[in-house]
Structure 1
Amino acid sequence: MPAPIRARRLARLTLLAVAVAGLPACNTLSRLSDVGQAPQLTRIQDPQAMPGYTPVSLPMPTPLPAERNPNSLWRTGAKAFFKDQRAAKVGDILTVLIEINDQAQMNNESNRSRNNSEGMGLPNFFGFESQLGAILPDEVDPSNLVSGTSNSGSTGKGGIKRAEKIELKVAALVTQSLPNGNLVIQGRQEVRVNFERRDLVISGVIRPEDITAQNTVSYEKIAEARIAYGGNGQITDVQQPRLGQQVFDILSPF
């Protein structure tokens, strides 16, 4: 192999190795620095100051002008006569009740079959059928020139069975008040047991009317709900495939 071609191939392999090695480099160094230590808890901070935070923007109704009635105890647009302690403005806290017990099962089965038969002959055609012997072999029968059959069939079966059950409670913070009165909430909870950390994140949009007198709201009342429940630590690390195996599974065509 000529030296220039060998040098170019070596350079390409070197660049590929550097690129592949650079992907997990930061994560590897971080994990090596945490050997023998429990996972660190995330510090408490303003959710709006966290990287990737985006304010929620939804279609809002046209605001109505406020009308004041003299000598009246009732204020136009008020949702309650007496002030309560339920979350109502940015910075307030409420409890989200998560009770997911979903089950789904589907079974599909299909069968299909088809039989086709075609035949064509030319026993008489103005006497020209007698001349076919000069063109075609002697074994050709003019009354049965073409005959074909075909069969096709397919069978398919599929099934899905899923069961999920989660029962949790998490305190969430009101991070935004929309023009129509709905509240944007976001909550995060971290629990560390020995060397395993469990994370729970929830966010979404709720109506103030769905907040109970106990200052709680059920998860099915949350619009655009995003619930994430996972963990980080030694047990989770063992359950995950190695980086090389994950890369191989993505790149392998077989």
Structure 2
Amino acid sequence: MPRRLSDLVLIALVLAPVPAFAKDKIAPDAFSVSMPMPPAPPPANGSIFQGGYVPLTSGGRAGNIGDIITIQLVERTAATKSNAAGTQRDGSIGLTPPTTGPLSLFNPSDVAAGGGQQFKGKGDASQSNALSGEVSVTVAAVYPNGTMLVKGEKLLTLNRGDERVQISGIVRAIDISPDNRILSTRVANANIRYVGKGEIARASQQGWLQRFFAIISPF
């Protein structure tokens, strides 16, 4: 093996990240959900009914820190873009020399010129995404205007890898159905993440050494 090629391989081995098989499990990240604790119940005052005040119009809807809301994932996006352009330009000039005198030596074709220019361009792009399912989240904060910050995640450990769905955002109490469900399209500042680890996800990615040479390749 030439020395220069061996040096490149050595550098790749030193600088390359940890192989995917060494980090199959999903490590906790900055999104990690800290489970909020519900507020402490009020002290007993001798009354038979110790529940807090709940407006009759609210029913059993979530409205306090620690309450559970089920978010129905109905995300679907589609985008298409197409453009086309075409130009064409032609020009010509011709002179007829006199039949007498020194210029009569020139033929009409000797003093004629012409030119043309043409361009055609076209581009198309399309992309679509879809995500469906349900994730139950907890109320992490209640704001004075009635909106609530919700956070939650679902971790599935399968025999071929791990799947994690994370979601956070702000919801309005009026958008919550009586059975404490809300569409993901009603979540403001929604942060939805769907990630997976395992041999299935790893098989659809390039190897770490192949990615390294793809970065430094000038072609």
Pick the TM interval, shorter chain.
Answer: 0.5 to 0.7
Aligned amino acid, residue 89 of structure 2:
N
What is the match of residue 97 of structure 1? 72
Distance in 2 separating the partners of 1:232 and 1:122: 79
Seen in structure 2, the aligned counterparts of structure 1 residues 20 and 185 have a Cα distance that, compared at 3 Å, is farther
* Count of paired positions: 195
Aligned amino acid, residue 162 of structure 2:
R
- 1:99 CA drift (Å): 2.3
Aligned amino acid, residue 149 of structure 1:
G
Where do residues 170-185 of structure 1 align in structure 2 (5 Å cutoff)? 170-185=135-150
What is the match of residue 14 of structure 2? 21
Aligned amino acid, residue 117 of structure 2:
N
Q: Is the 8 Å Cα contact of residues 83 and 123 (structure 2) preserved in structure 1?
A: yes
What is the match of residue 114 of structure 1? 88
Q: Does 1:213 align with 2:178?
A: yes
- 1:118 CA drift (Å): 3.4
1:46 to 31, 34, 40: 34
Distance in 1 separating the partners of 2:144 and 2:96: 83
In structure 2, list runs of 5 or more residues that go unmatched: 37-53
Instruction: Give the structure with the larger strand fraction.
Output: 2
| 3-state SS of paired residue (2:66) | coil
Q: Does 1:87 align with 2:53?
A: no
Seen in structure 2, the aligned counterparts of structure 1 residues 195 and 39 have a Cα distance that, compared at 3 Å, is farther
In structure 1, list runs of 5 or more residues that go unmatched: 1-9, 49-78, 125-129
- 1:81 CA drift (Å): 4.4
Q: Is the 8 Å Cα contact of residues 202 and 227 (structure 1) preserved in structure 2?
A: yes
What is the match of residue 200 of structure 1? 165
Distance in 2 separating the partners of 1:47 and 1:17: 46
CA shift digits 1:7-65 (9 cap, x unpaired): xxx9xx69x955862451xx34x944x7xxx84786986169xxxxxxxxxxxxxxxxx
Q: Is the 8 Å Cα contact of residues 41 and 190 (structure 1) preserved in structure 2?
A: no
Q: Is the 8 Å Cα contact of residues 202 and 228 (structure 1) preserved in structure 2?
A: yes
The RMSD of aligned alpha carbons is 4.0
Distance in 2 separating the partners of 1:241 and 1:192: 23
Instruction: Give the structure with the larger helix fraction.
Output: 1
Distance in 2 separating the partners of 1:220 and 1:45: 21
2:126 to 127, 137, 160: 160
Distance in 1 separating the partners of 2:155 and 2:138: 15
Seen in structure 2, the aligned counterparts of structure 1 residues 240 and 115 have a Cα distance that, compared at 3 Å, is same
CA shift digits 1:130-185 (9 cap, x unpaired): 7889xxxx6486x97462311313142525363x4432111112223334332221
Higher relative contact order (CA 8 A, sep 6+): 2
TM-score normalized with structure 2 length:
0.67
| 3-state SS of paired residue (1:184) | strand
